[in-house]
Chain A
């Protein structure tokens, strides 16, 4: 057990973690941030994606201890009160959400993409999202949602 301090969705936090504890466990079990989903716990599906200093990481493959001093953003930290982030709004309006289990990871990955590449091509969008599996939509509407969010900015 060790105590770590990091920034979580903009707020300073402090918590004890087990040495082998992964970030997804800490977020879900210690902070109750269950929007971060655990689809495989092997780094295969992307459902547990969070932003780590702004970059997408698989929180099931990261030890919580490594968050010390860093900034973590989860899906719960994306909207501003009732005002949805443009990506959240676009996912909703485009019908890019079916079961929704991949959605938090998809949206955060897309956010990181748009921050580094504000006007991605369809291929760039598909490449960026290729670490996030979706079993429901066939991806078409997810890609259109990301395009829509680009145009809404």
Chain B
């Protein structure tokens, strides 16, 4: 591939873009089947209660009700992580948060289904509830899950790398800080929706999921069906961000109801139910201690985190390890230790949200680093450049760093924002702040241990020249279908807009583990590259044989096979494909991707390793109103090392969208709960997702470090791009008005209080 790319690096239109702009794209809630019933879920009004009994007889007797389900219909635990399978499809024995799923009904219409819910009688024994994670650490008399050994601590991890004591001993300056990052939730525009149909002993579920494969496995487990009796199809999906990244109650409830009623059942969550389902950002209490030499070089770091996990495990054990494991970049940390604790509380479960596990510690560390720089009189850019990690190195916790464009991210964002020229010279109330970040391009290990590929792709070419890519990858709006068409097209010399993609259907597509941990471009992209390379060889071999030349002499570009000779000849891709089919039967190829063995040789060493890491450096410019405390972000320069931009507009869109999501959870969004356990703001009006008026244009800078193992050199760009937005703003607020804020999200009130304290000190 030494020649210039045909389509890589140029704008490729979204694979199914026309359907999306004309309203023809079908999302899960747009689907209907003849005889379809409406499903609804009864939720707990209590934060913590024992279920003494459930009487569904009146609901069942209501005309129009076709099925009623309770936990007893499927008393089998599940959970996205095999180490914490602590959920039931519907509650068994206990409810653990306001909104926990208790029963479900399927009826001929929504009105009947809702009336039936009101007829279900649940006898609860209300138990004391815990909402504060610190209380959860010590409350032995209240056990949210019976299995926890100490109080309500689900998991603790304590790891140490290098000589931490010596690191601190050699430091010229040591600083300690505490931070808190509050909860945020995904709030995708599309509410979750699942339609299930049980026929001929086989279950089919059309659902808004990021992980069809994992869902298939758990539907099989919970419903007691062989895996080959379960088919999961992901229709067009309206945004996930992690919130649809694990099996969820509606998928089980719709399936149970479909089996009981013998009719298709669809459950679509109300917006309030989307908030209650959550699985979003863990509230995290954090402590940091860093030692540096007087020139700012880091000698040691210690980090502690307390994660408020809410009522169930979800992805929490992974969140816990990520919170510690990903702090060893993008700066060289010669000695490092961390202690992380996840507790259960009686709130909706926290899980994975864009930037999973890295967002909170990154906020804390980058602000902490600026405080150190400020204490030592070093420019925030210089302290970052001084400590920046380099390519082809290994971190103290054994993370293998291959390509690394962090230094370039720092330099280019500083240059674009005129950091050196403008910082400190802005008008009153204005300031600039900087932050860096590192993120994984997919987890090095699958969620359940198995020796198979993490991603598989099959490509078929028929005699018309039509290329079809089959892959289990789940396009959740980020554009993974387009990426597959582009990668296959580039290898096969077929314009990406002519490549068909069939994805995310467990009956017809080979397994890809799903859209989580920012893995899809890297892993499915590599699998697709391998499959397309196999097909390319097949076709070129046939042409070579026909023309009596060696296949190495042939080239396949822009829909033509170029055959050397005097005169040189060409053959259309379709002719070549037909020739290959005539010579050797159906033209197809498959490819897979498994990351290299990277796990550290210690407990927890499986979380953090990735085949490649992305890097970012952002510069935010803010205006702080001293009278009102309102912070306005005026601009955000966002440099991100994504290896290679396969499709630049799509990559820019990821950077811009993630950065704005980061700004949102810095300044607007609060996923808070009342002291009775009710969600404080379960609507898109009160949970303040920003509007077009609330955010600046984000200026993306795509840094291409060309990863040696990524498809055409590409790495992730959908998640790491959120991380630096939060600390860049907080650091800019300090530059603007001289206050340090250690709690995010920030409020005008917090700004005013900090300004008041500042005046009192003076």
Question: What residues make up the interface of A, taking CB atoms closer than 8 Å to B?
Answer: 28, 33-42, 44-45, 47, 74-76, 78-79, 84, 88-89, 91-95, 97-104, 107, 125-127, 129-143
Contacts and interface: CB of A to CB of B under 8 A. Distances in A.
Given A40-B684, A135-B188, A130 B693 contact: yes
A100 B238 contact: yes
In the A-B complex, the 7 residue pairs with the smallest Cβ-Cβ separation, listed nearest first, are A35-B23, A99-B477, A101-B238, A138-B660, A100-B20, A75-B23, A95-B649
A79 B19 CA distance: 11
B457 interface: no
Contacts of B13: 92-93
Q: Is the interface of B mostly helix, strand, loop or mixed?
A: loop
Contacts of A28: 30
Interface residues of B, number: 52
A78 B659 CA distance: 32
B271 interface: yes
Q: Is the interface of A mostly helix, strand, loop or mixed?
A: loop
A31 B260 CA distance: 30
Interface stretch (B113-121, B357-365, B610-618, B650-658): B650-658
Given A92-B13, A99-B189, A135-B661, A42 B685 contact: yes
Contacts of B710: none
Given A35-B24, A101-B239, A142 B692 contact: yes
A132 B692 CA distance: 8
A76 B14 CA distance: 19
A89 to B, nearest CB: 8
Contact of A99 (B11, B188, B660, B689): B188
Contacts of B189: 37, 39, 45, 47, 99, 101-102, 133-136
Given A98-B657, A103-B20, A138-B660, A126 B692 contact: yes
A131 B691 CA distance: 7
Given A84-B18, A95-B650, A44 B685 contact: yes
A125 B477 CA distance: 24
B274 to A, nearest CB: 9
A152 to B, nearest CB: 14
B236 A41 contact: no
B27 A91 contact: no
Interface in B648-683: 649-650, 652-653, 656-661, 683
A84 B22 contact: yes
Contacts of A107: 21
A47 B190 CA distance: 9
Interface in B148-196: 186-191
Contacts of B270: 41
B498 interface: no
B698 to A, nearest CB: 6
- Of residues A45, A93, A99, which shows the largest number of chain B Cβ atoms within 10 Å of its Cβ? A99
27 contacts: A28-B30, A34-B27, A40-B191, A40-B683, A41-B270, A42-B271, A44-B271, A44-B683, A79-B22, A84-B18, A84-B21, A89-B21, A92-B14, A92-B20, A95-B649, A95-B653, A97-B14, A97-B21, A99-B239, A99-B477, A101-B190, A107-B21, A130-B692, A133-B189, A134-B692, A137-B656, A138-B698
A75 B22 contact: yes
Interface string B683-715: 111000101110101100000000000000000
A78 B236 CA distance: 21
Interface in B457-502: 476-479
Interface string B2-25: 000000000101100110111111
Given A98-B653, A101-B27, A135-B239, 9 more contacts: A37-B189, A40-B191, A42-B684, A101-B190, A126-B692, A131-B691, A133-B691, A135-B187, A143-B697
B83 interface: no
B29 interface: yes
A129 to B, nearest CB: 5
A11 B237 CA distance: 30
B667 to A, nearest CB: 14
